[in-house]
Chain A
Amino acid sequence: MTVTDLASVRAPVETANGLPNAHYIDPAVYTEEKHALLYAQWAGLAVGADVPEPGDAVPLTFLGMPLLLLRDKDGDVRVFQNICRHRGMILIEAPRKIEGAIPCPYHSWCYSTKGALISTPHVGGPGRNTHDAIKRSELGLIEVRSHVWRDVVWINISGDAPEFEDAMSHIIERWREFDVPMYHGGHDSRFTLEVQCNWKLAVENYCESYHLPWVHPGLNSYSRLEDHYHIEEPEAFSGQGTMVYRQLTNENGATFSDFPEVGAKWNEQAEYIAAYPNVLLGVHRDHAYAIILEPRGLERTAEHVHIYYAEPGADEGMKARNAQLWKGVFEEDIFVVEGMQKGRHVTTFDGGRFSPVMDSPTHCFHSWVAGKVEGYRGLAEAAE
């Protein structure tokens, strides 16, 4: 088992090193982080807009685990293990609408959209659908702890993280003004970018504004480096904000509608926060977005982008332009995260050093990773 030395990562930013290479290229550390950073925390899985109507069901694979995202008959979003309690067979292979119950395709044990086991055909012999040993009340689908906030479906696979509202209290409070209804922009407001890097590199790049003038030169004309500020909440999130957000306009000068009552503070201010572990969020007076980072392997990540507006009927042309604008920005970042991934194969790289002034949000994330991994190792040792 690879055990990395994380002491220097937890040091103050002035003297700290970044995470060791093994955290980007070693399968054993990837497995360790899967448990410490993703299963044990509130990780982003999908968005509620993926299952807009009751009965909508979407099978997903999260770190190799088959899960089922569905909206039950009462409209609540739920996440289940996507397997039958009988022989562990996959229940749903492709997105579809559940009209009634969910039958297992193997022996037809049936589940309600709330996960209850409602029929066990022939379980007591042909035509006999009950047996004393099979207690349906104990054999419902196994539900994964989930919570919807800002339309992101967050899951805690280990089941023992603090309540979502407690774990995310700082960011919930920080963005209280944006706690208003928001509407997914629809088909053109969702896209996925596949990148050849460990998922953490996408977080690290998102956290800081240091790279903006170099990687996103198009921003320089109106959004200079000095217009940005750091956002840091140790053990929870980090990111950056801007004081010069400019609204998109169409040829008639029209803009998107503002989120109601967000306040004058946000007229030209916008914020971009990485909610640890794997959700990248952005808020502006007139639109917001969420990026779910799906780790698809040690060196592969899918970035699922969803853009939201204050009204359901926002102008289609403007939404398409806005999505294209953001897609362009996010695509500009791909060579950076993929380049850093390649760099992690240089065996003598020490994790790198941070600018004490410009890189503190990234260091905040590294320090969080190190702390969670060390905590996980401590628990594992105690259990031995």
Chain B
Amino acid sequence: MTGDLHTRMLAAHHGPDRAALISLYTEAADCANDLDASCFFLTHAYVFALEAGAPQARHLHRRLSGHGREE
């Protein structure tokens, strides 16, 4: 993860800005270079999407399920 992404994540947590958290953690998942790390970030994006009732939750769930990481 780049330092810039990390800084933006911290700022989003500080808000908290849930929309930003969903997109930033999705971005981190897309940048990760191994599956476990990617699913770690996807999980966070998914939880923030669930909490917000955001439409991205469905897609994030599908990605995690596809890797056998979510029911």
Q: A residues within 8 Å of B by Cβ?
A: 99-103, 108, 110, 118-119, 121-122, 126-130, 136
In the complex, are the beta carbons of B39 and A99 less than 8 A apart?
no
Give the CA-CA distance A101 to B49 in the complex, in Å. Answer: 9
Smallest CB–CB gap between A41 and chain B, Å? 36
Instruction: Chain A residues near B57: list those with CB within 8 A.
Output: 100
Instruction: Chain A residues near B20: list those with CB within 8 A.
Output: none
In the complex, are the beta carbons of B54 and A100 less than 8 A apart?
yes
Q: Mark B43-71, 1 if CB is under 8 A from A, else 0.
A: 11011011111100100000010000111
Instruction: Chain B residues near A110: list those with CB within 8 A.
Output: 47, 50-51
Smallest CB–CB gap between B32 and chain A, Å? 9
Smallest CB–CB gap between A34 and chain B, Å? 35
Give the CA-CA distance A268 to B11 in the complex, in Å. Answer: 64
- The answer to whether A122 and B43 touch (CB under 8 A), given A100-B57, A128-B69, A136-B71, is yes
Q: Please tell me the size bucket of the interface on B.
A: 20 to 34
Instruction: Chain A residues near B37: list those with CB within 8 A.
Output: 127
Instruction: Chain A residues near B51: list those with CB within 8 A.
Output: 99-103, 110
How many A-B Cβ pairs are below 8 Å? Answer: 56
Known A103-B47, A130-B71; 10 more pairs at CB < 8 Å = A100-B57, A110-B47, A118-B50, A119-B70, A121-B47, A122-B40, A128-B39, A129-B69, A129-B71, A130-B69
Best-buried of B40, B42, B47, B64 by chain A (most CB within 10 Å)? B47
Contact residues, B1-47 vs A (CB, 8 A): 35-40, 42-44, 46-47
Instruction: Chain A residues near B42: list those with CB within 8 A.
Output: 127
Best-buried of A99, A118, A126, A129 by chain B (most CB within 10 Å)? A129
Main secondary structure of the interface of B (DSSP, over half): helix
Instruction: Chain A residues near B71: list those with CB within 8 A.
Output: 129-130, 136
Main secondary structure of the interface of A (DSSP, over half): loop
Q: Which 8 A-B residue pairings sit nearest by Cβ, starting from the closest?
A: A100-B53, A127-B39, A127-B40, A101-B50, A99-B53, A127-B36, A129-B70, A121-B43
In the complex, are the beta carbons of B36 and A126 less than 8 A apart?
yes
In the complex, are the beta carbons of B36 and A100 less than 8 A apart?
no
- The answer to whether A101 and B53 touch (CB under 8 A), given A126-B36, A127-B69, A130-B71, is yes
In the complex, are the beta carbons of B47 and A119 less than 8 A apart?
yes
In the complex, are the beta carbons of B40 and A99 less than 8 A apart?
no
For A113, the closest partner residue in chain B by CB is B53
Give the CA-CA distance A118 to B47 in the complex, in Å. Answer: 10
For A124, the closest partner residue in chain B by CB is B69
27 of the cross-chain contacts (CB-CB < 8 Å) are A99-B52, A100-B53, A101-B50, A103-B50, A108-B47, A119-B50, A121-B43, A121-B46, A121-B47, A126-B39, A126-B40, A127-B36, A127-B37, A127-B38, A127-B39, A127-B40, A127-B42, A127-B69, A128-B36, A128-B39, A128-B69, A129-B43, A129-B69, A129-B70, A129-B71, A130-B71, A136-B71
